Amino acid sequence: MMNSTTFVSLKSTNDIFLPFRVVLVVSACIASTMGNVVILVIFSASKREIKNKRSNRCRVIDIIIASIAIAALGRSLLLGPLQTACFTQGEWPFGDSMCQLQAYIEAMLRNAVIWYLSLLSIERYTKHIMPHEYLATFSPLTVNIILLGILLIVIVQVTAPLYGWGKYEYIHDTGLCGTATTSTFGCSYALYLFLSLTMPPLSVIMVNGVLLSYQMCKKSKAQETTKRSMSCGNSRILSSEKEIPSLVAFMVLFVVMSIPRCITDVVIMCSETYHLLSPFIFSIYFLDSLTSVLLPVLCFSMHP
């Protein structure tokens, strides 16, 4: 009787906040879509202005930023309409195959953004800490190969539930399909994703953020660099004047907004505490979805 009362109470609470949830989802989807589209328009315009290979070599950061924007845009366009439809209807209305596809693509795009951001942090670290090695390390060809390799790695990692390791199903509190909490191998799969797919890039982002912060504070021992080395890593999307503090703030916010979902996924897969976390599931997942809006905010505030 107590469990039934608790379930009804939670369900009625969800119904009360349903319109608010729909408004939040739609607003975040619109903001992310418009922001990332503008980034891609700026990238396309700047790409047309480049006339020689050397200037193209100096803009690899914009290739990474555009890749992050594409992944974030795809995630927003996928999740926003589907999540709104599920919240308004109270269930997943598109069939099991579509549920599997949505969960798979969302996991792929989410982890691709995290890994692409870790590459961005490495690229900025090399530019600011080791500028003499920047040109030898990063080129458009190198970056494109790395981006493709990262995407292939992520695709392989998130296919496991499609062949039995873990399971994708509809999760009512999120309004989306995701890794099932009742899956037999859900715990081991959640731990695997957390330790091998999520934490490594997030750790790289945090470490590079700390190193860039240290470099920003270390003004007395400036490195001697040639004019070409200093200018070749500059972006046509981001202004170079306040780039480091803005990037560090962006990295910190991204990690802070991503970690709660990573931990929550492991906790609900490996323990029978979903009913305790149920009131907070939407907030945690929505906070994670807001990472798609962070890049446009950074670029608009830093656009020269």
Q: Residue 178's beta-bridge partner residues?
A: 169
Q: What is the pLDDT of residue 138?
A: 87
The answer to whether position 228 is within a domain reads no
Residue 246 belongs to some domain of the structure: yes
Express each pLDDT in 278-296 by its tens digit.
Answer: 778 889 999 999 999 988 8
Q: Is the model's pTM score more than 0.75?
A: yes
Counting as low any pLDDT under 70, the low residues of the chain are 1-15, 49-58, 181-183, 218-234, 239-241, 272-274, 276, 302-304
Residue 230 lies in a domain: no
| 7 within domain boundaries | no
Other CB atoms within 10 A of residue 6 CB:
12
Q: How many beta carbons lie within 10 A of that of residue 13, not counting itself?
A: 12
CATH number at 193 reads: 1.20.1070.10
Q: Is residue 3 part of a domain?
A: no
- Domain span at residue 64? 17-223+240-302
Which pLDDT score is estimated for 1?
37
- 100 within some domain: yes
Which residues, listed in sequence order, are joined to residue 170 by a DSSP beta bridge? 177
How do residues 106-150 score in pLDDT, each as one tens digit?
999 999 999 999 999 999 888 888 888 888 888 888 999 999 999
Contact criterion met (CB below 8 Å) for 246 and 216 = no
Q: Got the DSSP string for 144-170?
A: HHHHHHHHHHHHHHHTGGGGTSS-EEE
pLDDT at 49: 66
Q: What's the confidence (pLDDT) of residue 9?
A: 36
Does residue 59 form part of some domain? yes
Rounded distance between C-alpha atoms, residue 155 and residue 149, angstroms:
10
Answer whether 78's CB lies under 8 Å from 102's CB. Answer: yes
What's the structural domain count of the chain? Answer: 1
Is 30 within the bounds of a domain? yes
Cα separation of the two ends of the chain: 62
